[in-house]
């Protein structure tokens, strides 16, 4: 059957995901953290307890979503359109969560269908909510089923110079590091597969760009303290090539921030960014 708009609200079965200190270290290195961020990249540095980057929620969460209820679609034509995380506590260096997912929305965009996939994760050791993730998937070729288009988000950056700007360099082999945290899609590692997708070479994972951007926000706005990082969302607007620069611009208003990430050519690669912090 095609995309089923009546699937909105359908819930999946709870699923569990555990991780270790090593997993957290590997994720941090995969999104560019290094020797100047030892709290996130080592576990045995003097007077420096290990902590976890908040954006690791995208790797640990997302479980329990009932993909089988969406209907039929070509997975090769699915794009990761947007991502949001909400943190209710600091992610521990090792632990386990139980995640329950549901289909939050299905919108008819004409040339495709936009699907919000929501997953809520509870810390198994405490029974308390730890984080919530929302992935928006765009299913190309699956629109036109007569559904509503959905809301049109309004996003306008302030007419002033950014309050903060942070520049990071990605490595040529960045996707090979990031894929070890779980996303083994050959689009990010196999040159022949990348060419079938229309790229000259493998591209960087969108969620790796998300992690780089999250690091900039964490260190600039939260004083590198993950407990102050509350939420982050935005839309993927252009692929990033390994070796590209990522320039994160931030406009702060109280405890919230609008942000945008561009490459070295000034092209926006992550847009409509909103982050909250404490």
Q: Catalytic residue among 32, 206, 211, 273, which? A: 206
Q: Is 29 a catalytic residue?
A: no
Average confidence (pLDDT) over 171-200: 94
Instruction: Give the span between the Cα atoms of 275 and 257, in whole angstroms.
Output: 5
Q: Which is nearest to 264 in space by CA: 238, 246, 237?
A: 246
Residue 79: CB partners within 8 Å, gap ≥ 6?
137, 138, 140, 236
Statement: residue 1 has pLDDT above 80:
no
Q: Catalytic residue among 112, 203, 211, 214, which? A: 203
Q: Is 219 a catalytic residue?
A: no
Cβ atoms within 10 A of the Cβ of 90, count?
16
- Give the tens place of pLDDT for each residue, 91-114: 999 999 999 999 999 999 999 999
pLDDT at 153: 79
Residue 167: CB partners within 8 Å, gap ≥ 6?
245, 246, 247, 248
200 and 120 together in one domain = no
55 and 168 together in one domain = no
Q: How confident is the model at residue 198 (pLDDT cuts 50, 70, 90)?
A: confident
Instruction: Give the span between the Cα atoms of 145 and 17, in whole angstroms.
Output: 35
Average confidence (pLDDT) over 46-67: 97
Note whether residue 149 is domain-resident: no
134 and 168 together in one domain = no
Statement: residue 184 has pLDDT above 80:
yes
CATH number at residue 39: 3.10.129.10
95-108 and 112-123 beta bridge pairing: antiparallel
Instruction: Give the span between the Cα atoms of 91 and 49, in whole angstroms.
Output: 13
**What's the chain's average pLDDT?**
96
96 and 15 together in one domain = yes
- Give the tens place of pLDDT for each residue, 60-97: 999 999 999 999 988 778 889 999 999 999 999 999 99
Average confidence (pLDDT) over 51-61: 98
Number of compact structural domains in the chain: 2
131 and 216 together in one domain = no
- Tracing tokens 């632990």 back to the chain, one arrives at 95
Q: Catalytic residue among 188, 211, 214, 273, which? A: 188
Q: Catalytic residue among 85, 183, 214, 273, which? A: 183
190 and 103 together in one domain = no
Q: Is 211 a catalytic residue?
A: no
Residue 38: CB partners within 8 Å, gap ≥ 6?
45, 48
Question: How big is the chain by its Cα radius of gyration, in Å?
Answer: 18
Note whether residue 147 is domain-resident: no
Q: Is 94 a catalytic residue?
A: no
What sign for the dihedral angle of Cα 52, 121, 237, 185? positive
Range of the domain at 58: 5-140
- Give the tens place of pLDDT for each residue, 234-260: 999 999 999 999 999 999 999 999 999
268-277 and 95-108 beta bridge pairing: unpaired
128 and 45 together in one domain = yes
Is 229 in contact with 256 (CB distance < 8 Å)? no
pLDDT at 75: 79
Note whether residue 155 is domain-resident: no
- Tell me which of 22-26, 35-39, 65-69, 215-219 is least confident: 65-69
What letter would DSSP give residue 6? G
């Amino acid at each position: 059957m095609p995309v089923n708009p009546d699937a909105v609200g359908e819930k999946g079965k709870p699923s569990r995901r555990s991780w270790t200190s090593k997993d957290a270290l590997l994720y941090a290195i995969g999104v560019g953290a290094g020797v100047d961020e030892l709290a996130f990249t080592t576990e045995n540095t003097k007077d420096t307890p290990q902590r976890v980057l908040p954006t690791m929620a995208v790797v640990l969460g997302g479980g329990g979503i009932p993909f089988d209820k969406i209907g039929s679609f070509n997975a090769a034509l699915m794009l990761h359109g947007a991502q949001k995380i909400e943190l209710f506590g600091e992610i521990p260096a090792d632990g386990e969560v139980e995640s329950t997912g549901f289909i939050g929305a299905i919108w008819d965009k004409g040339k495709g269908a936009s699907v919000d996939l929501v997953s809520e994760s509870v810390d198994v050791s405490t029974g308390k909510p730890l984080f919530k993730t929302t992935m928006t998937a765009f299913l190309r070729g699956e629109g036109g089923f007569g559904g509503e288009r959905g809301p049109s988000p309004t996003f306008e950056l302030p007419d002033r110079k950014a309050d903060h700007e942070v520049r990071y360099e990605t490595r040529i082999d960045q996707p090979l590091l990031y894929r070890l945290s779980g996303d083994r899609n050959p689009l990010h590692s196999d040159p022949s597969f990348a060419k079938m997708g229309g790229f000259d070479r493998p591209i960087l994972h969108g969620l790796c760009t998300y992690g780089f951007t999250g690091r900039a926000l964490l260190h600039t706005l939260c004083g590198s303290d993950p407990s102050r990082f509350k939420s982050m969302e935005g839309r993927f607007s252009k692929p990033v090539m390994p070796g590209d620069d990522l320039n994160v611009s931030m406009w702060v208003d109280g405890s919230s921030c609008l942000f945008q990430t561009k490459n070295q050519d000034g092209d926006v690669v992550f847009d409509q960014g909103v982050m909250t912090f404490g």
